[in-house]
Amino acid sequence: MTSPKGFSEVQSETFNWEEYLKESGGEPAPETCFKQASTPPENTFEPSQKIEAADPRNLTSTCVATVIGAVGPRLRLRLDGSDNSNDFWRLTDSGDIHPIGFSEKNGGLLQPPLGFRMNPSSWPSFMQKTLNGAVCAPSSCFKQEPLGPRRNEFKPSMKLEAVDRKNPMLICPATIGAINGDQVHVRFDGWKGAFDYWCKYDDRDIFPCGWCAKNGHPLQPPGQKGSGAVTKPGRGRLSDSSTQGLNPTSRNSTPSRQKSPSPAPTPTMCVYINHGCNCGPYLNQQRILQLPSQYGPGVINRVLYDILKGCMECAFTEKVVYNLIPEGHGRVVISASHGHKTYTKRVIGVETGDEFWGLLDRLFEDLGCCQNLFSTKPLNNILRASSQQITDPISPTNPTQNAAGQQNQQRVYATRLIQNLSRCDAHTRLRRVRRLWILVHTGRQTQLIGQLMRLSDTFEIDGKALLLLNSDMMMKYMGLKLGPVLKLCNLIDRLRQRAR
């Protein structure tokens, strides 16, 4: 099987089904219960390819869709004419995705998606413009949908893996809670019933135990038992104390005779987006304008996930913004695509408002954006004149102006980073030098090296720290790989020569 396309090289913790089944006393559902291929289907789709797909909100309509990313054999799709809030996931061997031209060959018509953002009468011209020069996925990418079981063979208490339909990027350990004809009740382990759902026994969103590991897809660990207020991304592992004396197959259906203590309340947050603020050199102002007016009120990690997801979707280069988000061991899991690879990591844990805003303040500093881009109260457009915007708004219809505007933003941002290095402590200085390198390495800032050279006097003020950087320090403390380190060392050598 080829490596996942566009969404995730997973470096997260490994979930061990064998140990978990021994611990919980669970029984895995046999593979014959599922409508899934016994051999993982090959994923040869590429990001930005066009396909035809059934509108998940109106299955009678077939629409044009774009491949946004992938994890293993799963595709993240966006209907053309819709927005990113309606993205959905399909398997590469799904029966409701097809090559462009499938509908026409079979006497059908491509329809605008539900909630088409333009005038419906403009759909034919919009579709023509969308497909003109587009890269269409070849028919070889589409796999035959597997045959499903003839009848419902599931039994209550069987274990499986299932898509979290409230956050469909995630697949999580689950249990069959009940059977009703050809319907099964999917209950997520370690979570109260808010995320549970009923589905048909041959639904493509349920998988046998071990499917994720076999297909190169991350599997979220179970949540904290009895704690239903925590947000979904990055569920925490089961603790020893939470598993003792409990039968995970009946904890939600059988009320306890003993009164148990209520869990501590989960902090809630409401964060407002001030669209008039300067968004810095990494984020696209026009995409920022498309963000909602606020995130929340909601549990703290749910709001954090929404903000980080929004920032990456507004990025000129998603992987660059992903790299600036601090990694840790919290509940929030984020993913980004770059080329043919996918990257996934956990974010620093936040449990209080101070930790929440501390993480965002650090991220906003690294992004070079106004600290009020996200705030605790709406500031409307009063910040447009005072947010120190470094360029005029960039026109989304003029690619040349767009690229030039971004490069100008990056040049000015780089200059400010350099000029402020002398006022930073050693740790912050290393972070800012890493940001300078990111600007060079993205390839979007071709004049930055010259900018750094012309400012070598500025480096000389702080040069005793900066010019002592060597390859070992950069690889160990800045997390850079050998290739970028060699390029950066060459730049610093040139700076040393000019500083003499």
Closest to 417 measured CA to CA, from 445, 384, 443: 445
Task: Work out the burial of residue 189: count CB atoms within 10 Å of its CB; fewer than 13 is exposed, 13-18 middle, 19 or more buried.
Answer: buried
Query: Phi, psi (5° rounding) for residue 336?
Result: -145, 155
Residue pair 70/7 in contact (Cβ under 8 Å)? The answer is: yes
Cβ 135 vs Cβ 49: under 8 Å: yes
Q: Which two tokens stand for residue 130?
A: 């969308």
What is the C-alpha separation between 32 and 393, in angstroms, rounded?
56
For residues 365, 367, 371, 376, the Cα torsion angle rounded to the nearest 10 degrees is -110
The Cα 227–Cα 229 span in angstroms is 6
What's the rounded Cα separation, in Å, for the pair 177 and 338? 39
Distance, CA of 42 to CA of 142 (rounded, Å):
9
In whole angstroms, what is the distance from residue 15 CA to residue 220 CA? 8
Facing residues of 80 across strands? 82
DSSP string covering 285-303: HHHHTTS-SEEEEEEHHHH
Estimate the crossing angle of helix 399-419 against helix 456-466, to 10 degrees: 60
Structural domains in the chain, CATH included, are 9-37+148-234 (2.30.30.140), 50-141 (2.30.30.140), 268-375 (3.90.1150.190), 399-499 (no CATH)
Bridge partners, residue 184, by sequence:
179, 199
Q: In a structure prediction context, what are the per-residue pLDDT tens digits for the chain, which is 500 residues long?
A: 333 344 333 334 468 899 999 988 889 999 999 999 988 888 999 999 999 999 988 888 899 999 998 989 999 999 999 887 889 999 999 999 999 999 989 888 898 998 787 887 888 889 889 899 899 999 999 999 999 999 999 999 999 999 999 889 899 999 999 999 999 999 999 887 778 999 999 999 999 999 999 998 999 888 754 333 333 333 333 222 222 222 233 533 333 333 344 445 567 889 999 888 888 888 998 899 989 889 988 888 889 999 999 999 999 888 889 988 988 888 888 888 777 777 888 888 888 888 888 888 888 888 888 878 888 888 754 443 333 433 333 333 344 445 555 555 555 555 555 555 555 555 555 555 655 655 554 444 444 444 444 446 433 334 555 666 677 666 655 556 676 677 777 777 777 776 66
Give 53's strand partners.
63, 97
Residue 143: name the closest of 206, 68, 215, 201 by CA: 215
Is residue 487 within 8 A of residue 495, CB to CB? The reply is no
Query: In 300-443, which ranges are E strands?
Result: 333-338, 341-346, 374-375
Instruction: Report CA-CA distances (Å) from 330 to 7, 233, 270, 304, 362.
Output: 20, 9, 20, 11, 16
Tell me, what DSSP letter sits at residue 315? B
- Rounded to whole angstroms, the Cα distance separating 257 from 65 reads 52
**DSSP element (H, E) containing 484:** helix 482-499
* Euclidean distance between CA atoms 121 and 309, whole angstroms: 33
Q: Specify the pLDDT at position 457.
A: 40
The token duo for 278 is 């300067």
pLDDT at residue 114 in the model:
83
C-alpha distances in angstroms, 495 versus 39, 411, 426? 55, 18, 19
Tell me phi and psi for residue 432, to 5 degrees: -75, -35
Taking the C-alpha atoms of residue 397 and residue 166, their distance in angstroms, rounded to an integer, is 34
Which CA distances in Å does 326 have to 163, 235, 358, 370? 27, 18, 11, 18
The pLDDT assigned to 468 comes to 66
- Rounded CA separation 21/28 (Å): 8
Closest Cα to residue 481, out of 493, 466, 471, 491?
471
The structure's pTM equals 0.48
pLDDT value, residue 302: 87
